[in-house]
Amino acid sequence: MKKNYLTKSTEDYLETILVLSLDKRVVRIKDLAKHLNVKKPSVVSAVKYLKRKNLVKQEHYGHIELTEEGEVVARKIYKRHKALYKFLHNFLGIDPSIAEKDACRIEHFLTPETMERILKFIEFIEICPKKSPNWLNNFYYFVKTGKLPEICKKC
Amino acid sequence: MKKNYLTKSTEDYLETILVLSLDKRVVRIKDLAKHLNVKKPSVVSAVKYLKRKNLVKQEHYGHIELTEEGEVVARKIYKRHKALYKFLHNFLGIDPSIAEKDACRIEHFLTPETMERILKFIEFIEICPKKSPNWLNNFYYFVKTGKLPEICKKC
DNA sequence: TAACTTTGTTAGGATAATCTAATTTATAAT
DNA sequence: ATTATAAATTAGATTATCCTAACAAAGTTA
């Protein structure tokens, strides 16, 4: 059983590799450096670490890819990020760029329980019209039972 | 103009000094060590730093107190903490001990804008019965105008 | 293909936050 | 008051993350 803990910094590298690879042909050291606001040698050593962990692969002087395992991990992190962004922006009404920043900052630190609850909350508000009376209690009901209350289904 | 940035760690020390001094006669190095799960030398060096910043005072080998300035800062941090706790527990329904943990973890990282919004949200849900239809829009109205909608005042 | 430019790498160092082990001071007990 | 215990301090090491400067490889262009 391998040690599975990743630091904030390491998670950021992984996540950024995923995000960049979604709209770029290839991901390079300099791209990561730019996005993460660090210098290239920092990226090099982070990538070296991730290679040891079998989360990314890279030929010497070549471009960077996630391994299968790395992609699984990166997608989890990215999922958290998106959920937090939605929570902050769609629900609390925080401006996009700020919501983005906060999502980045706290995505690494929430307990799984709270993260789970926020995911559930997002799911709920995307279904529920938020207009029904007693709206919040409907959410608690949803958390508890996993089922939407009758009243919600009508929307 | 003095540099005013405190790290996560430093904020934790300050906050803990405040919290402990609320129900203890005096706060000592070992108390901080215990609460923060670090060893005494770590506390000593953190306190040394905070002394340089004029945020705490301590006689050699003596107990620890916040300066006036330190208390102001610590109260701000603690206020954030309590708001986040309420948000997680009272609103999202997270269990107390977990909500506590998450509040601790993220209190240092939120942007002022988001923190402000969460404070507003807490304020709102403590007044609003959460039962009125269109509840969430009432919150947005409150954010925008600073005033509670008519319907809320009836509760 | 030789020279130039861009990109990646290595070496070596800085800082923040922690630790252990040894030491010093303060407090309590006989 | 002397001794024993508890608490605080210092010295020195470790780890993670970042940096700059120097260098090496790859890619581009004339």
Contact assessment for residue B138 and residue B149, using Cβ atoms and an 8 Å cutoff: yes
* CA nearest to A118, candidates A147, A143, A152: A143
Share of chain B above pLDDT 70, in %: 88
Q: Which residues of A touch B154 (CB under 8 A)?
A: none
- Whether chain B has a CB inside 8 Å of the CB on A106: the answer is yes
Which pLDDT does position B1 carry in this prediction? 37
Higher pLDDT, B24 or A105: A105
Please name the fold of domain A8-73: Arc Repressor Mutant, subunit A (1.10.10)
CATH of range B78-153; options 3.40.50, 1.10.60, 1.10.520, 1.10.357 = 1.10.60
Shortest CA to C1' contact from A48: nucleotide: C9
Mean pLDDT of B111-116: 94
pLDDT at B154: 56
Residues of chain A neighbouring B135 (CB-CB closer than 8 A) = 130-131, 133, 135-136
Amino acid at A55: L
Confidence of residue B122 (pLDDT cuts 50, 70, 90): confident
- Residues in A touching B129 (Cβ below 8 Å): none
Helix axes A40-52, A29-36, angle to 10 degrees: 110
Q: Locate the DSSP E strands across chain B.
A: 56-58, 64-66
pLDDT at B38 over 90: yes
**Paired strand residues for A66:** A56
Q: CA at A40, C1' at D26: how many angstroms apart? A: 17
Residue B36 has pLDDT above 50, yes or no: yes
Work out the average pLDDT over B45-51. 97
Residue ranges of domains in chain A? 8-73, 80-153
| pLDDT mean by block of 10 residues, chain A; 155 residues | 74 98 92 97 97 94 96 96 95 94 95 93 76 70 75 59
Distance A36 CA to C8 C1' (A): 17
In the CATH scheme, what is the code of domain B8-72?
A: 1.10.10.10
pLDDT score recorded for residue B2: 41
Q: Which of residues 109-128 of B touch A (CB under 8 A)?
A: 109-111, 113-114, 117-118, 121
Taking a C-beta distance cutoff of 8 angstroms, is the pair B27, B20 a contact? yes
Strand C contact with B125 (CB < 7 A): no
pLDDT above 90 for B47:
yes
Q: Which long-range contacts (CB under 8 A, 24 or more apart) does B123-128 make?
A: B124/B148, B125/B90, B125/B91, B127/B152, B127/B155, B128/B152, B128/B155
Q: Which residue is nearest to nucleotide D25 (CA to C1')?
A: A61
pLDDT at position A2:
42
Measure CA to C1' and name the residue nearest C25. Answer: B61
- B58 Cβ within 7 A of any nucleic strand C atom: no
The alpha carbon of residue A133 is apart from the nearest alpha carbon of chain B, in Å, by 4
Residue A152 is predicted with a pLDDT of 62
User: Are B110 and A109 a contacting pair at CB < 8 A?
Assistant: no
For chains A and B, CB pairs below 8 A equal 82
Q: Does B8 touch chain A (CB under 8 A)?
A: no
Q: What is the mean pLDDT of chain B?
A: 89
Chain D, protein-covered positions (CB within 7 A): 7-12, 16-21, 25-26
